[in-house]
Structure 1
Amino acid sequence: MSKNHHRGGLPWLFNPFEIKFSAYSGSGKTTLICRLINEMHQDYDIAYAKSDAHRFEMDKPRKDTHQAQMAGAQAVVINNPEARAKLEKRPANEIWRSLNLLEYDIVFVEGYKNHTQSPRILLVNDKMLEEIADKDLENVIAFTGPASERPSGLPTEIPYFHRDNIAAIKELILKTFASRVPKTKGLVLIGGQSRRMGKDKANMKFTEKSMARQAYDLLKEKCDEVYLSVRDEQQSLPEDCQGLPIITDQLRDMGPTGGILSAFKQDSSSAWTVMGCDLPLVTSETLEKLYEGRNSQRYATCFKSKSDSMPEPLLAIYEPKAQNRFYQFLATNRLCPRKVLLNSSIELLEQGEYNYLDNANTPEDVERIQEQLLRD
């Protein structure tokens, strides 16, 4: 293990989808980064982070925020309808730094020489080439520089690109991100108390299977591991679900949010495909559409409800970084997963002609869905 690795820490600085650019000062890092941003910003929300060894000042003297800082404020915030800024005098530690830029699809990082766990692009010039044998090349995915031909002395297993070959560098970055997409596990939420229905929805049947088993089998088509999410005091599972793996809510009285976060407590590195047990119209084709539209660089991928155009939180793929978002909302006493989705960077999919999201919450819903299934 490299001396620069941090045991137990995150394998990234700001975002699971980040690329670091390393080189000597004046070698063209910022120019290359800006060209890549210009090439990619139409398709991705991109952030840029820079480490500066020197003192810097981002505020202007005599401005209100500057005067407040000079008076002793440790942080100042300024907002307008299109932008916001926060300036702090407090140094960022590893934990707080990792929460700063999760909103974004991609982060380009310049500097941070002592952190090598993220994929890196190394810009090489004559001085760098003289010292390349002594350089730490861990996690370097490419060299780039001003030479039209590959300079001699570079390790052959790492590709080299001319710094003007933006298309090829972009392609490599996207290929690298594709290799980092986390696997998914499945979670069927059956811990609700079914007050409006008057009986346990997980036991109800629209086919020969219980709704809980139907949802479990559907998720099993996409996930190697699927679990039933249950309350601690839940007495029994549907008969056709006996013996299936379960995750018991560790965060009580939080509804679906408690089930989702309990799943992340069991495995925080996987994405979780979450499905309520009261969605009898969901099919294999539904899940195929969900997975085809998955954007692993967002917090979640879900469908838009036809009834209110809002995101449906109980048929969604939640990416690993979503757990941080949920805890932020819990800190402000907001427990609804739909509110989390509404106020986060997500991939929102259209359902098309068929309404997959009709749920069976009441006896009237059940009657209407049964009639629809007979028609179909």
Structure 2
Amino acid sequence: MPNNSDALPPRSKHAQLARPHSGEFGRHELAILGAPCGRIKELAARLLPLLEPTLRVAYVDADHAAGDDAAQGGSGGQDAILQAGAAAELTDKITFTRLDVKRGLDKFSQQEWLQHQGMVLVNGNHFRARQQLVILDPAKPLEKKLDRLTDVRALLLPEGVTEVPAYLRAHLGAADVPIFFLQDTAAIAELILQEWRAAAPPLRGLVLAGGRSQRMGQDKSKLAYHGQEQRAYAAELLAPFCQDVHVSCRPDQVVELEYAGLRPLPDTFADLGPLSGLLSAFRQDPNAAWLVVACDLPLLSAATLEHLVAHRHAGKLATAFQSPENEWPEPLITIWEPRSYATLLRFLGLGYSCPRKTLINSDIALLSPPAPLELRNVNTPEEAAQVRRELE
């Protein structure tokens, strides 16, 4: 009897999921090392005013005094509530909020708490990060920490230092690492911003066409306002701005979309409305930004899309237009950045499937639409007839 076991795919205990690109703390993280901790923190404080207009920046450090106190039998910096046994304490400090949590900080928690930041600066004396800025301070030589220098982005010379140590030149090899004076804050900040912009996630397109079109009475993605089905028209609009364009659909629509020459992306999150398509797109590629357009926007033009893409803010959770009908963001013509995936899932876990609620409660770039009428959704036969008259 023939053995067909070789034809079967290898058994896997876990689903094969694409994982978001992230380091110890976030997608964009930069360790500063090679100097005493005070000098590292001082550099971070100088950089922040120049980075913050573009990026939300977090700083990661360790507290020597608290550690020493705990080692000597003290409270280790815990206040009375934590000492009494509370697992966490959330304090509204009016101008900021502090969360003290009495448990270990694993790498998954770090990424979860810092996911809303565009950049994480890290004290490299205590923690590793994917990329590094190296201060050549003679008081803190790095000869025994070369394993931490995995992707050095710049060397920083303190006053009085003019040479790169031989051991460091040998470690860097042929790498062309720029050198700045430590006090040249503007140049260091501009390098960080340039590299952050260059690493912006690629833009992929998604036409939402998996709805049931109950109010229209027929599949509104198949309606033709411009001589072709609206789903194909929307895909063509997106194509010049995206590396590729997918059409979000129900599994039963896949064959017909392929036959129509479109690229289907079937929903893997069922019965969640537009959120189904958005989450399915991020499940396929969590490292791209998705430019999402609903199929029921027949008045949408390339000029409006160009405006959206030109004003994209990759440091925010999303870039969206303000709805012409109210002050809320319009979620179905929006650029959703990679970090929005975890946020959308968090809102779903809290029982909310409305993408607009995620936008309202997140740090986004909100734009005024250049042509507000183009954002009009067409959901009924009467609305479709009106649009056809306007397009004549």
Normalising TM by the smaller chain, what interval? 0.7 to 0.9
Deviations 1:230-283 (A, max 9, x none): 113448646x96242211111111111111111111111111111110011111
Q: Is the 8 A contact 2:249 2:277 kept in 1?
A: yes
Higher mean alpha-carbon deviation, 255-264 vs 98-107, is at 98-107
Residues 16, 167 of structure 1: CA spacing in aligned structure 2 closer, same or farther, 3 A cutoff? same
Going from structure 1 to structure 2, the CA distance change for 1:373 and 1:32 (only over 3 Å counts) comes to: same
Match of 1:68 among 67, 81, 94: 81
Q: For residue 368 of structure 1, what is the aligned residue in structure 2?
A: 386
Give the Å deviation of 1:175.
Answer: 1.1
Question: How many residues are matched?
Answer: 361
2:376 matched to which residue of 1?
358
Mapped to 1, the partners of 2:351 and 2:299 lie a distance apart of 33
In the alignment, the residues of structure 2 paired with residue 48 and residue 179 of structure 1 have an alpha-carbon distance, to the nearest angstrom, of 22
- Residue equivalent to 2:14: none
The equivalent position to 1:101 in structure 2, one of 104, 111, 114, is 114
* 1:27–1:123 CA contact under 8 A, matched in 2: no
- In structure 2, the CA distance between the partners of 1:252 and 1:246, relative to structure 1 (3 Å rule), is same
User: How has the CA–CA distance of structure 1 residues 237 and 144 changed in structure 2, closer, same or farther, with 3 Å as cutoff?
Assistant: same
Q: Which residue of 1 aligns with 2:51?
A: 40
Establish whether residue 137 from structure 1 lines up as the match of residue 149 from structure 2.
yes
Aligned letter for 1:327? L
Q: In the alignment, is the contact (CA less than 8 A) between 2:91 and 2:98 conserved in 1?
A: yes
Q: How does 1:91-240 map to 2 (within 5 A)?
A: 91-111=104-124, 113=126, 115-117=128-130, 119-128=131-140, 131=143, 134=146, 136-147=148-159, 150-153=162-165, 155=169, 157-234=176-253, 237=256
Inter-partner Cα distance in structure 1 for 2:142 and 2:21: 32
Q: What fraction of aligned residue pairs are identical, expressed as a percent?
A: 31
- Taking the aligned partners of 2:142 and 2:340, their CA distance within structure 1 comes to 44
Q: Is the CA contact 1:20–1:109 (under 8 Å) kept in the aligned structure 2? A: yes
The offset of 1:105, in angstroms, is 2.8
- Quote the Cα distance in structure 2 between the aligned partners of 1:148 and 1:199: 75
Q: Which runs of 5+ in 1 are unaligned?
A: 1-7
SS in 2 for 1:48: strand
1:50 maps to 2:61: yes
Amino acid at match of 2:99: K
User: Mean alpha-carbon deviation: is it higher for 169-178 or for 348-357?
Assistant: 348-357
How far off its partner does 1:163 sit? 1.3
Alignment of 1:342 onto 2:353 = no
Q: Quick one: distance in 1 between partners of 2:62 and 2:99?
A: 17
8 A Cα contact 2:294 2:332, kept in partner: yes
CA contact (8 A) 2:136 2:156 kept: yes
- Which structure 2 residue ranges, 5 or more long, are not aligned? 1-18, 170-174
Give the alignment's TM-score, normalised by structure 1. 0.87
Amino acid at match of 2:376: D
Secondary structure in structure 1 of the residue aligned to 2:291: strand
Q: 1:18 aligns with which of 6, 23, 29?
A: 29
- 1:312 matched residue in structure 2: 330
Q: CA deviation at 1:130?
A: 7.5
Instruction: Normalising by structure 2, report the TM-score.
Output: 0.84
Q: d(CA) in 2 for partners of 1:134 and 1:194?
A: 60
Q: For residues 259 and 223 of structure 1, what CA distance do their matches in structure 2 show?
A: 17
**Structure 1 position 116, deviation (Å):** 3.8
Q: Give 3-state SS (helix, strand or coil) of 1:195's partner.
A: coil
* Residue matched to 2:4: none
1:46-78 CA-partner distances (Å, limit 9, x unpaired): 222214466459xxx9xxx93332221111112
* Secondary structure, counterpart of 1:92 in structure 2: coil
Change (3 A) 1:353 1:133: closer
Cα separation, 1, equivalents of 2:216 and 2:52: 47
Name the structure 2 match of 1:274. Answer: 292
Q: For the Cα contact (< 8 Å) 2:296–2:377, is it kept in 1? A: yes
1:168 partner letter? A
1:331 deviates by 0.9
Equivalent residue in structure 2 for 1:258, among 273, 276, 280: 276
Q: CA deviation at 1:225?
A: 1.8
Indicate the residue corresponding to 1:28 in structure 2. Answer: 39
Quote the offset at 1:223 in angstroms: 1.8
- Cα distance, 1:150 vs structure 2: 3.9
Aligned 8 A contact 1:148 1:162 in 2: no
Correspondent of 2:90 among 62, 77, 95: 77
Contact 1:46 1:108 (8 Å CA) reproduced:
yes
